[in-house]
Amino acid sequence: MAFRILLGFLLGSLLTSFQFLNADTRQLKRSDGSVVEFHIYLPAVEKFSLIIGLQGSECKPALKGGMGRFAPIFDSLGFGFLLVEKPGIYGGSADEKCPEEYLELNTIAQRISDIQLVILALRNDEAFLKNWNGSLIWEGGSEGGTVA
């Protein structure tokens, strides 16, 4: 029982510290000119593995959905964490109505293509490569598990 209380306290502390973690939000252009937005957390360690968090089919920003809450846990363990937004989801805003771009373009194939685009960009980013050990870990929930 004491172990569960301690574990709950530690996880709660980590999740509360999420507000202090800053995601580096970046955008890339797809071949059709539309935008892919992604968020990356880089830990302060010499070498890290990168976890790619893939949320389910919900029409919410990745930072506001279920995957965003894992960032402080992975950071505290020395992992980098990448969240790639779905088409039409930008700026971390969560409107009640799904954007038209999301309704038209959000497919598993598009999500895979977007992730490939982001990983290619990161593999060409010297600052990122300096500390990344080349390892990718895929973590997905619901539809995100299918994408992974």
Residue 101, pLDDT > 50, answer yes
d(C-alpha 65, C-alpha 10), whole Å: 21
pLDDT tens digits, one per residue of 123-136:
999 989 999 999 99
Residue 123, both tokens: 């593999």
Q: Mean of the pLDDT values across residues 34-53?
A: 93
Q: What's the predicted TM-score (pTM) here? A: 0.81
Answer yes or no: are the C-beta atoms of 55 and 66 closer than 8 Å.
Answer: yes
